[in-house]
């Protein structure tokens, strides 16, 4: 397959005064599954539509491989796009939907038939070939539009929240299916989602976006374990934030008496006041240790597989600790004084929040 790398170079998109996409730089390797992750309105769709050619960027450029494509009209870009609301052609059968792009390219009909047949088999849609879209379930429709986008052997596959209209079970099922399929055919893929679980489990790399700009690009493990900005730390996973103050060289104190060691260079960069963050499930709750980090249990919330303790650090500052329980485990009763501990590298420190 003629898959290609994609280079988005300093792309900006303005709508009047409003900047929807702000100087975005992304390089995507050939065959990579790349995800744009961010909350609603952060510009994911806008960026994707610029890549597809439905919109022109205000500045910056886009290359497929080493070829700039900014002047290539949308229908000549050879990108296969999957839309959030399917955009299935309601008046065409499943077969005609899938064949649409091949026919638009003027392929001989024998070849069209052959490729459509293979595609139907691959997507397990054989028995549905002559159905009309309205006779299909949401998940089936989504498979059809995926097939329709893949069958043209696109240089780049673009997907805009393709699973967000489906129920949870279907979503979980289809996301593994899409991932497997993408690996199998090796097409460069840009995937848009606001669901972090989806982003983490499907992607080779993820770009976390906020208000039109990229906050961080990295592997799923990177952005989960090593968030570089406060936004990423708060957006991904369940994090706690505490004000921190330098009490000695490279040592910061947080409410409740916790002490955190920070490399000297980083401490010098941050100054006296900073903010420390950690994941709820990284913290361990035990018996209080004299001179250690302590808190009071305010609430214990049972979620089945996990139990969350809400812990008061004093100064009105609370944090959450999540722990996996087992049959017979009893959370400490409300009001108990407990000791807290974190593995040495399971926290991040950011500049003070203003």
Partner 1 sequence: MQAMQAWVAHRIGFWPIITLLVFLTLIALLLMPVVNIIGMSLSSKDPNSSVIANYVEFFSRRFYYQTLINSVQVSVAATFFAVLFGVPAAYFATRYEIFGRSFVRAAVVLTFVSPPFIGSYSWVVLFGRSGIVTQTLADIGINLPSIYGAPGIVLVFTLQFFPFVFLMVSSGLKSIDQSVEDAARNLGSSELRTFFTVLLPLLIPSISAGALLVFVAAFTDIGTPIIIGERFRVLPVLVFGEFVNEFGGRPILASTLAVLLLTVTTSALLLQRWYAARHAYGTSAIRPLLVMEQTPLKRILASVYVLLLVGLALLPVINIVISSFLKANGPLLIAEFTMENYERVWRTIGTPLSNTLYYTTVATAMCAVVGTAVGYIIVRRPGRLGGWLDGVVMFSYAVPGIVLAVGLVVTYNEPPLILTGTSAILILAFFIRRLPFSVRSSVSMLQQLSRDTEDASINLGAGPGRTFLRITVPLLSMAILSGVLLTWSNTIRELSATLILQSGNTVTLSIEIFNEVVNGNFGIASALGTVLILLTFLPLVILFAFLGKKEEALV
Ligand X SMILES: Nc1ncnc2c1ncn2[C@@H]1O[C@H](COP(=O)(O)OP(=O)(O)OP(=O)(O)O)[C@@H](O)[C@H]1O
Contact residues for ligand X, defined by CB under 6 A: 15, 18, 20, 38, 40-46, 194
Q: What tokens appear for 264 in the block? A: 């000297």
- Asked if 35 interacts with Mg ion (CB under 5 A), we say no
To the nearest whole angstrom, how small is the minimum distance from the Cβ of residue 106 to partner 1? 9
To the nearest whole angstrom, how small is the minimum distance from the Cβ of residue 346 to partner 1? 43
Residue keyed to tokens 């100054």: 271
Q: What tokens appear for 255 in the block? A: 């409410």
Task: With CA atoms as reference, report the closest residue to 76 among 64, 86, 88, 85.
Answer: 64
Q: Which is nearer to partner 1, 148 or 205 (CB)?
A: 148
Q: Alpha carbon 131 to chain centroid distance?
A: 34
Task: Report how far residue 247's alpha carbon sits from residue 272's, in angstroms, rounded to the nearest whole number.
Answer: 8
Choose the binding region for partner 1 from 80-88, 201-209, 236-244, 325-333 (rule: CB under 8 A): 80-88
To the nearest whole angstrom, how small is the minimum distance from the Cβ of residue 74 to partner 1? 5
To the nearest whole angstrom, how small is the minimum distance from the Cβ of residue 160 to Mg ion? 6
Among 10, 59, 61, 90, binds partner 1 (CB under 8 A): 90
- Asked if 46 interacts with Mg ion (CB under 5 A), we say no
Q: Which is nearer to Mg ion, 144 or 159 (CB)?
A: 159
To the nearest whole angstrom, how small is the minimum distance from the Cβ of residue 309 to ligand X? 33
Choose the binding region for partner 1 from 5-13, 24-32, 142-150, 268-276 (rule: CB under 8 A): 142-150
Task: With CA atoms as reference, report the closest residue to 37 among 218, 208, 226.
Answer: 208
Question: How many other C-beta atoms are found inside a 10 Å radius of the C-beta of residue 43?
Answer: 22
- Asked if 78 interacts with partner 1 (CB under 8 A), we say yes
- Asked if 225 interacts with partner 1 (CB under 8 A), we say no
To the nearest whole angstrom, how small is the minimum distance from the Cβ of residue 191 to partner 1? 16
Strand-pairing partners, residue 276, are 242, 349
On the 0-12 / 13-18 / 19+ scale of CB atoms within 10 A, 109 is exposed
Question: How many other C-beta atoms are found inside a 10 Å radius of the C-beta of residue 230?
Answer: 18
Query: Under 8 Å CB-to-CB from 8, ≥6 apart: which residues?
Result: 24, 25, 26, 27, 28, 47, 51, 60, 62
Task: With CA atoms as reference, report the closest residue to 178 among 206, 199, 194.
Answer: 199
Q: Residue of minimal CB distance from ligand X?
A: 45
- Asked if 45 interacts with Mg ion (CB under 5 A), we say yes
- Asked if 87 interacts with partner 1 (CB under 8 A), we say yes
DSSP H helical ranges for 155-263: 168-185, 196-202, 220-225, 230-235
To the nearest whole angstrom, how small is the minimum distance from the Cβ of residue 125 to partner 1? 17
Choose the binding region for partner 1 from 7-15, 143-151, 215-223, 263-271 (rule: CB under 8 A): 143-151
- Asked if 58 interacts with partner 1 (CB under 8 A), we say no
Contact residues for Mg ion (CB under 5 A)? 45
Contact residues for partner 1 (CB under 8 A)? 52, 54, 71-81, 83-85, 87-91, 100-101, 104-105, 145, 148-149, 152
């Amino acid at each position: 397959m003629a898959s290609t790398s994609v280079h988005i170079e300093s792309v900006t998109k303005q709508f009047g005064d409003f900047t929807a996409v702000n100087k975005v730089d992304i390089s995507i390797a050939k065959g990579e599954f790349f995800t744009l992750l961010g909350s609603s309105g952060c510009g994911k769709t806008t960026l994707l539509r610029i890549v597809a050619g439905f919109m022109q960027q205000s500045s910056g450029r886009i290359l497929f491989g080493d070829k700039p494509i900014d002047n290539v009209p949308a229908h000549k870009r050879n990108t296969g796009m999957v839309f959030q609301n399917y955009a299935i052609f309601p008046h065409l059968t499943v077969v005609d939907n899938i064949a649409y792009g091949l026919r638009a390219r003027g392929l001989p009909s024998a070849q069209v038939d052959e490729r459509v047949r293979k595609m139907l088999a691959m997507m397990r849609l054989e028995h549905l070939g002559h159905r009309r879209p309205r006779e299909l379930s949401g998940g089936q429709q989504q498979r059809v539009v995926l097939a329709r986008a893949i069958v043209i052997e696109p240089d780049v596959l673009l997907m805009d929240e393709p699973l967000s209209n489906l129920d949870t079970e279907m979503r979980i099922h289809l996301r593994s299916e899409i991932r497997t399929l993408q690996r199998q055919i090796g097409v460069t893929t840009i995937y848009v989602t606001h669901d972090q679980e989806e982003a983490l489990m499907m992607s080779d790399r993820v770009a976390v976006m906020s208000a039109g700009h990229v906050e961080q690009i990295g592997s799923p493990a990177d952005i989960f374990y090593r968030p570089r900005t406060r936004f990423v730390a708060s957006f991904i996973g369940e994090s706690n934030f505490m004000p921190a103050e330098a009490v000695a060289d490279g040592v910061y104190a947080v409410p409740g008496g916790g002490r955190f060691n920070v490399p000297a260079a980083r401490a010098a960069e941050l100054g006296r006041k900073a903010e420390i963050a950690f994941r709820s499930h990284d913290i361990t709750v035990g018996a209080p240790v004299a001179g250690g980090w302590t808190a009071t249990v305010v609430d214990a919330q049972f979620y089945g597989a996990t139990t969350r303790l809400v812990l008061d650090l004093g100064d009105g500052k609370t944090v959450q600790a999540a722990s996996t329980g087992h049959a017979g485990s009893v959370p400490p009763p409300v009001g108990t004084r407990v000791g807290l501990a974190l593995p040495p590298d399971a926290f991040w420190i950011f500049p003070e929040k203003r």
